[in-house]
Amino acid sequence: MSGLFSPGSAGSPAEDATSDQAFLAAMLEAEAALTRAQAAVGMAPPEAATAVTAVAADPGRFDARDIALRARDGGNPVIPLVARLTAAVPDEAAAYVHRGATSQDILDTSLMLLAARTSDLILADLARTERALARLAAAHRDTAMPGRTLTQHAVPTTFGLKAAGWRSLVLDARDRVAGVRRGLPVQLGGAAGTLAAFGAYEAGGGVSRAEGEHEPPEAGREPPGQHLVAAFARQLGLCEPVLPWHTLRTPVADLAAVLAFTAGALGKAAADVLTLSRTEIAEVSEGAGGGSSAMPHKANPVRATLITAAARRAPGLAATLYGSLAAEDERPAGAWHAEWEPLRDLLRLTGGAARDAAELAEGLRVHPEAMREHLDLTGGLIVSERLSATLAPLLGRARAKEVLTSAARRTRDEGRTFATVLAEILTELGADEPALKDIDLTELTDPTHYTGAAAALTDRALERR
């Protein structure tokens, strides 16, 4: 894949970790690990494990395109890969390739390997992003800017609090990705998730056991074949599942959830950057904006654009994976097959977004002078809430609202400052009211003096590790 349709993930570590070649290598790794696990528990000779591992360690000898085309015959790539691997190992090891396993054991385990490795890459980039946002939040703890609700000026906030909020989402994503990463399991159940073939091979190539050996194990005893699952997990550095999960798709659903959340969490910061970097706002800008094919003057917020694109695509991919939870029988026709590409796409999208978010945060330029200018755009109306709280005890709530509404209208219509207009009105009202004469309108209408607990909230957010 050249990546022409996916610039957000093109060239990213996540793209490389989820490539066709990486998937092919993961399937071979799973096959080799299965043979080694069987050797570790006495179900295969060590020489067979060594031989299979040696061949599997060279994925370049297998043609991924040929395997993909041959996968049409059986519906998945494991079947032709096993045939090629079996033919490539010495004759004495051939019988131990894929022994007792089913295609889903290898394919699901391989997907978990790719997910684990890509999650590690995502976590590394989230750590970069978090550190850069922490620096921005600390540096701009007291940098006042307009707070905006429903696209309009609301009350002042600080850029430090905004950056701290972005960081909080990144940490939420980190914790979720790390939690799922720690629990990613191998899949090993055999044809229908009963471990039957492994039990048979363990008994000696299918020779009947002594009477009573096929009875369910007593409570607390390990199910026959489970020690092989544990050995398989150890070989690959993944978790041992309580049950085969061939139709219990919790691991895939959990990945869908955290990856979509992570893309969305990064998308929130990107959406803010897109708004704040508009030409007419220009309160922030990307450190290395992208160019235009037709307009030389442009410096487009490309990183934020690519992150936003990923955030918009991720929920649809997650929905497909959630839809596959309703899987019939012991292997569904279609539901399982529908998972493979969306899961890989989601890993790639989120991995690319995490890389871009790190670059965006590390290079983001903040323009406090523009923020200050915009605080004054409405002539002080941005702090009308503060005046309402001040005047209500003196004039009564209804009268205060009437006064402030009139002052706001005159401020807009006459192009004067809120403080000037309000001073005139209060002078008229306060002829016999000393309390009104003592109001410091310069202080009360200074937007930088009405950021509430923004600084303390920023400090509190930065304490989180």
Q: Check residues 89 and 425 and name the one with the higher pLDDT.
A: 89
Q: What is the pTM of this model?
A: 0.92
Residue 236: closest CA among 445, 40, 436? 40
**Does 348 lie in the same domain as 429?**
no
Residue 264 has pLDDT above 60, yes or no: yes
Within its chain, how far is the Cα of 2 from the centroid? 23
Q: Residue 221: which pLDDT band, with cuts at 50, 70 and 90?
A: low
Query: Which residues fall within 8 angstroms of residue 457, CB to CB, at 6 or more apart?
Result: 161, 164
Residue 356 lies in a domain: yes
Residue 194 lies in a domain: no
**Does 140 lie in the same domain as 77?**
yes
pLDDT at 435: 72
Q: Share the mean pLDDT of the chain.
A: 92
Catalytic pick from 331, 372, 410, 416? 331
Residue 276 has pLDDT above 80, yes or no: yes
187/210 Cα distance (integer angstroms): 29
> Residue 35 corresponds to which tokens in the numbers above?
């043979």
**Does 251 lie in the same domain as 115?**
yes
Residue 137 lies in a domain: yes
Residue 39 has pLDDT above 60, yes or no: yes
Residue 298 has pLDDT above 70, yes or no: no
Residue 223 lies in a domain: no
First to last CA, the chain: 38
pLDDT at 297: 53
Instruction: Residue 301: give the domain boundaries.
Output: 13-188+234-366
pLDDT at 240: 97
Instruction: Give the CATH number of the domain where residue 392 resides.
Output: 1.10.40
pLDDT at 212: 36
Q: What integer is the mean pLDDT of 403-420?
A: 94
- Residue pair 279/370 in contact by the 8 Å Cβ criterion: no
Q: Residue 428: which pLDDT band, with cuts at 50, 70 and 90?
A: confident
**Does 98 lie in the same domain as 164?**
yes
**Other CB atoms within 10 Å distance of the CB of residue 203:** 16
Residue 122 lies in a domain: yes
Catalytic pick from 182, 292, 365, 406? 292
Q: Check residues 234 and 215 and name the one with the higher pLDDT.
A: 234
CA distances from 316 to 306, 310, 311, 321, 323 (A): 17, 11, 10, 9, 11
Q: Which of 73-77, 138-142, 393-397 has the lowest mean pLDDT?
A: 393-397
Residue 318: closest CA among 113, 168, 180, 193? 180
Q: Residue 356: which pLDDT band, with cuts at 50, 70 and 90?
A: very high
221/362 Cα distance (integer angstroms): 54
Residue 173: closest CA among 364, 350, 13? 350
305/319 Cα distance (integer angstroms): 23
pLDDT at 291: 55
Residue 205 lies in a domain: no
Q: Residue 409: which pLDDT band, with cuts at 50, 70 and 90?
A: very high
**Does 396 lie in the same domain as 290?**
no
Q: What integer is the mean pLDDT of 281-290?
A: 86
What digits encode the pLDDT tens for the residues 363-375?
999 999 999 999 9
**Does 394 lie in the same domain as 335?**
no
Residue 43 has pLDDT above 60, yes or no: yes
Helix axes 302-323, 250-276, angle to 10 degrees: 150
- Residue pair 16/1 in contact by the 8 Å Cβ criterion: no
pLDDT at 224: 76
Q: Is 36 a catalytic residue?
A: no
Q: Residue 299: which pLDDT band, with cuts at 50, 70 and 90?
A: confident
366, 388, 418 - which closes a domain: 366
**Does 410 lie in the same domain as 361?**
no
Q: What integer is the mean pLDDT of 421-440?
A: 79
Q: What integer is the mean pLDDT of 311-322?
A: 98
252/190 Cα distance (integer angstroms): 19
Q: Check residues 356 and 438 and name the one with the higher pLDDT.
A: 356
Residue 1 has pLDDT above 70, yes or no: no
**Does 319 lie in the same domain as 396?**
no
**Does 264 lie in the same domain as 139?**
yes
340, 366, 392 - which closes a domain: 366
Residue 234 has pLDDT above 70, yes or no: yes
Q: What integer is the mean pLDDT of 434-459?
A: 91
**Does 437 lie in the same domain as 303?**
no
Q: What is the 3-state secondary structure (H, E, C) of the chain?
A: CCCCCCCCCCCCHHHHHCCHHHHHHHHHHHHHHHHHHHHHCCCCCHHHHHHHHHHHCCHHHCCHHHHHHHHHHHCCCHHHHHHHHHHHCCHHHHCCCCCCCCHHHHHHHHHHHHHHHHHHHHHHHHHHHHHHHHHHHHHCCCCEEEEEECCEEEEEEEHHHHHHHHHHHHHHHHHHHHHHHHCCECCCCCCCCCCHHHHHHHHHCCCCCCCCCCCCCCCCCCCCCHHHHHHHHHHHCCECCCCCCCCCCHHHHHHHHHHHHHHHHHHHHHHHHHHHCCCCCCCEECCCCECCCCCCCCCECHHHHHHHHHHHHHHHHHHHHHHCCCCCCCCCCCCCHHHHHHHHHHHHHHHHHHHHHHHHHHHCEECHHHHHHHHCCCCCHHHHHHHHHHHHHHHCHHHHHHHHHHHHHHHHHHCCCHHHHHHHHHHHHCCCCHHHHCCCHHHHCCHHHCCCCHHHHHHHHHCCC
pLDDT at 303: 96
What digits encode the pLDDT tens for the residues 171-218?
999 999 999 999 999 999 999 999 999 988 887 653 333 333 344 445
Q: Looking at the 3D structure of the chain, how many domains does it have?
A: 2
**Does 411 lie in the same domain as 355?**
no
**Does 386 lie in the same domain as 325?**
no
Residue 155 lies in a domain: yes
- Percentage of the chain beyond pLDDT 70 is 93
135/139 Cα distance (integer angstroms): 6
Q: Is 331 a catalytic residue?
A: yes
pLDDT at 211: 34
pLDDT at 209: 37
Q: Which of 39-48, 240-249, 392-401 has the lowest mean pLDDT?
A: 392-401
Residue 124: closest CA among 178, 163, 172? 178
What digits encode the pLDDT tens for the residues 238-260?
999 999 999 999 999 999 999 99
Residue 82 lies in a domain: yes
Q: What integer is the mean pLDDT of 292-296?
A: 49
pLDDT at 206: 37
Q: What integer is the mean pLDDT of 50-63?
A: 97
